[in-house]
């Protein structure tokens, strides 16, 4: 399944144009984040992409079919939307709330039967929230409610999940639960498109990113889009993207240090010279090594030597890869690998003196 936005532009009813030349696409299994300052139109972009708002020109295409011409029943059986701060209305129970996601599959004059109820319960089990089944939606925590809303979206069996700031207003742990769930769903083949206020969530979770920088909408691989220059330009904040080392991975982190003064000249992008590096990977099952191979294949141009070794006693794979290329490419490779669950990977760069 593929949702594609082609040459779209959006304008408010007042005629004020929000952005133009919007081009991006999301396929099954991809996880794409949308970043942008307050008021840049993140939610608007999501809503327009799904056809809830009309583009001024261009359009959204789902598997080649214009979304604006699709019947709602057909469209919403393929896309599910989780809006922000909703779900408490009507004080329905969690089970009822999840069943609403399946209304499309229930006949117009019918009510949910055992089959639908069982499916809803299975969805709750899948997300580990079956214990909430009979609780009322206005009596559970924000984190739990967000999981219920994701369950509702999943219950519709949609191939693409669109979420509006799914982790806003949640504490650390619940943010982690929600984001882990989304990562898991994406690795199971669901396309996940979400808005976020946290550049580091985008960096850590998404394969590709969309950044709304005033009137332009930038789209590309996450590490290319979320860099210090783009953040400064879109948010007006001087930020550093650092690597934070954990036992398993290097984790990218974005640290804002101050506002950009209006008259400051924009710093020029540092010239990207080629560097030498080695990349070490530890992974578990066989399927994972398959995925790793596929990713490595995409980076053949910077790869000049690799060694893979199975560790039979523990059923693990250890891979070491030699790289020679731009820092940008190397960082992107490391980022893509780090998105696979159960994979540890780290890059070691050669010192500049020896090059």
Partner 1 sequence: MMTTKNGSWKTRYILFLLLLPVVALILSLCIGRYVVSVSDVFGSILSRFDESIDVPKLAYITVWNVRLPRILLAFLVGSALSCSGLMFQSLFQNPLATPDTLGVAGGSSFGAVLALLLGFTLIPLQLLSFGFGCLAVFLTIMAAKGKESSMSTIVLSGIIMGSLFSALVSLVKFTADQEQQLPSITYWLMGSLQSATYSSLLIGFIPISISILVLFLLRWRLNLLLLSEEESCSSGVNMKRLRKIAILCATVATASSISMCGQVGWVGLIVPHMCRMMFGNDHRHLIPACISFGGTFLILVDTLARSMSAAELPISILTAMIGAPFFIFLMRKKGGWSL
Contacting positions for partner 1 (CB under 8 A): 47, 50, 52, 72-77, 79-81, 83, 86-87, 89-93, 96, 100-101, 103-104, 106, 108-112, 134, 138, 156
The distance of closest approach from Cβ of residue 42 to partner 1 in the complex, given in angstroms and rounded to an integer, is 14
CA 118 to chain centroid: 29
Q: Which is nearer to partner 1, 53 or 237 (CB)?
A: 53
Residue 346: Cβ within 10 Å count: 18
The distance of closest approach from Cβ of residue 326 to partner 1 in the complex, given in angstroms and rounded to an integer, is 42
The distance of closest approach from Cβ of residue 148 to partner 1 in the complex, given in angstroms and rounded to an integer, is 12
The distance of closest approach from Cβ of residue 10 to partner 1 in the complex, given in angstroms and rounded to an integer, is 17
Write the CA distances from 23 to 26, 44, 51, 160, 291, integer angstroms: 11, 15, 15, 17, 27
Q: Which is nearer to partner 1, 59 or 87 (CB)?
A: 87
Write the CA distances from 55 to 12, 21, 49, 84, 321, integer angstroms: 10, 11, 8, 21, 45
Q: Which is nearer to partner 1, 86 or 314 (CB)?
A: 86
The rounded distance, in Å, linking the Cα atoms of 320 and 281 is 6
Q: Which residue matches tokens 């081009």?
A: 23
Q: Which is nearer to partner 1, 48 or 296 (CB)?
A: 48
The distance of closest approach from Cβ of residue 83 to partner 1 in the complex, given in angstroms and rounded to an integer, is 4
The rounded distance, in Å, linking the Cα atoms of 331 and 347 is 8
Q: Which residues contact 173 (CB under 8 A, 6 or more apart)?
A: 143
Q: Which is nearer to partner 1, 48 or 209 (CB)?
A: 48
């Amino acid at each position: 399944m593929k949702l594609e936005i082609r040459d779209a532009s959006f304008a408010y009813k007042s005629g004020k144009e929000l952005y133009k030349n919007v081009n991006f696409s999301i396929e099954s299994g991809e996880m794409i984040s949308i970043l942008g300052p307050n008021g840049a139109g993140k939610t608007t972009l999501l809503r327009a992409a799904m056809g809830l708002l009309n583009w001024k020109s261009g359009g959204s295409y789902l598997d080649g079919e214009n979304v604006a011409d699709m019947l709602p029943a057909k469209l919403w059986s393929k896309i599910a939307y989780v809006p922000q701060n909703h779900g408490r209305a009507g004080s329905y129970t969690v089970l009822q709330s999840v069943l609403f996601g399946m209304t499309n599959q229930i006949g117009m004059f019918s009510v949910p039967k055992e089959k639908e109820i069982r499916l809803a319960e299975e969805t709750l089990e899948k997300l580990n929230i079956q214990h909430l089944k009979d609780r009322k939606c206005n009596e559970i925590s924000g984190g739990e409610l967000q999981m219920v809303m994701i369950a509702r979206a999943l219950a519709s069996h949609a191939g693409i999940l669109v979420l509006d700031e799914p982790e806003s207003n949640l504490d650390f742990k619940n943010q982690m639960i929600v984001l882990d769930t989304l990562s898991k769903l994406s690795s199971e083949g669901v396309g996940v498109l979400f808005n976020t206020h946290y550049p580091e969530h985008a960096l850590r979770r998404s394969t590709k990113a969309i950044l709304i920088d005033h009137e332009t909408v930038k789209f590309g691989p996450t590490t290319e889009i979320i860099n210090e220059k783009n953040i400064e330009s879109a948010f007006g904040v001087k930020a550093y993207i650092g690597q934070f080392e954990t036992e398993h991975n290097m984790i990218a982190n974005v640290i804002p240090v101050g506002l950009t003064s209006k008259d400051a000249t924009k710093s020029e992008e540092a010239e990207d010279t080629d560097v030498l590096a080695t990349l070490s990977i530890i992974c578990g099952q066989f399927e994972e090594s398959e995925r790793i191979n596929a990713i490595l294949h995409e980076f053949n141009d910077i790869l000049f030597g690799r060694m893979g070794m199975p560790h039979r006693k523990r059923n693990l794979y250890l891979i070491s890869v030699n790289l020679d290329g731009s820092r940008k490419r190397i960082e992107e490779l490391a980022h893509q690998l780090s998105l696979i669950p159960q994979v540890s990977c780290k890059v070691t760069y050669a010192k500049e003196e020896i090059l």
